Amino acid sequence: MLIGKKIWAILLFSAFLAGCSGNKREQPKIPDQPASELYAQAQKQLNAGSYLNASETLEALDTRYPFGPYSTQVQLDLIYAYYKQGETAKAQANIDRFLRNNPTHQSLDYVYYMRGLSHMAADYSFFQSIMRVDRYDRDPSFAQDAFSDFRLLINRYPDSVYASDARRRMIYLKYNLARHELAVARYYVKRDAPLAAINRCRYIIETFPDTESARDALRIMENSYRTLGLNDLADQAAKVARSNS
């Protein structure tokens, strides 16, 4: 009976402690401060390269002062902070939000540029970059989206300060996309699917005519035509390949 009373007392004391802890208000990670102070803090963190801390401060600003004097710049800074962290999904979500809410903003060229960079970052593979591995099953959609973003930027804002870098990145993306398509064509050759290889090579030649992959595609096309017994078409492909060598 005495043991039972002790257990009951312990349970009551535990419940009391739980109630006390539950009454304690959880302190916010970012202290309550005026918008100007939070914004100044976020800028210091961005300049110091502390992008995680900066994004947390900017998120607090965005939540607490959604219509404040810094709201638009906070959204732009959040895009950059997320990108620098490699949080490409968050960066894209904030880019879409900004474009939806600010369709005529003066910084749209920057936003499209950041969208292209974010798509490139999502496409990036360290192993493939170092080892230069071509994979037929690699999803090229992010690279295609990045190419489209930079093309849109250049078409709409040809005099933008970001246009020159966007052009250079488009060249890089074009060669990578062409190499991906060539890897697909070679995969079809290995799978004894010459017609599929020819169709893929035709796409490479039409879409990326000024790349090395286009010349390689002509040779694959020639061999695939010969496999199918279409020697006249094979000779034409060989002739075009020689004229472009």
pLDDT bin (cut points 50, 70, 90) of residue 244 is confident
In a domain, 59, yes or no: yes
Which long-range contacts does 201-204 make (Cβ < 8 Å, 24+ apart)?
204/178
- 154 CB contacts (<8 Å, ≥6 apart)? 160, 163, 166, 167, 170
Residue 70, domain CATH: 1.25.40
In a domain, 182, yes or no: no
Please compute the mean of the pLDDT values over residues 160-188 and round it to a whole number.
96
Helix (H, G, I), strand (E, B) or coil at 158: coil
What is the 8-class DSSP label of residue 138?
S
Please compute the mean of the pLDDT values over residues 222-231 and round it to a whole number.
96
Higher pLDDT, 224 or 67: 224
In a domain, 48, yes or no: yes
How far apart are alpha carbons 55 and 76 in whole angstroms? Answer: 11
CA angle 5, 11, 17 (to 5 degrees): 140
pLDDT bin (cut points 50, 70, 90) of residue 23 is very low
Out of 13-17, 77-81, 133-137, 160-164, which region has the weakest mean confidence (pLDDT)? 13-17
How far apart are alpha carbons 198 and 218 in whole angstroms? Answer: 9
Q: Count the domains in the chain.
A: 1
Q: Helix 51-64 vs helix 35-47: angle between axes, to the nearest 10 degrees?
A: 160
In a domain, 98, yes or no: yes
Please compute the mean of the pLDDT values over residues 143-147 and round it to a whole number.
95
In a domain, 67, yes or no: yes
In a domain, 9, yes or no: no
Higher pLDDT, 60 or 127: 60
Longest Cα pair distance anywhere in the chain, in angstroms? Answer: 103
- pLDDT, tens digit, for every residue of 52-81? 999 999 999 999 999 889 999 999 999 999
In a domain, 84, yes or no: yes
Task: Give residue 67's domain range.
Answer: 34-102
Burial of 141 by CB count in 10 Å (0-12 exposed, 13-18 middle, 19+ buried)? exposed
Please give the sequence-ordered ranges of beta strands (E in DSSP) within 44-122, or none if there are none. none
pLDDT bin (cut points 50, 70, 90) of residue 13 is very low
Going from the C-alpha of 34 to that of each of 41, 60, 64, 113, 170, the distances in angstroms are 11, 11, 10, 31, 42
Higher pLDDT, 60 or 22: 60
% of the chain beyond a pLDDT of 90: 75
In a domain, 96, yes or no: yes
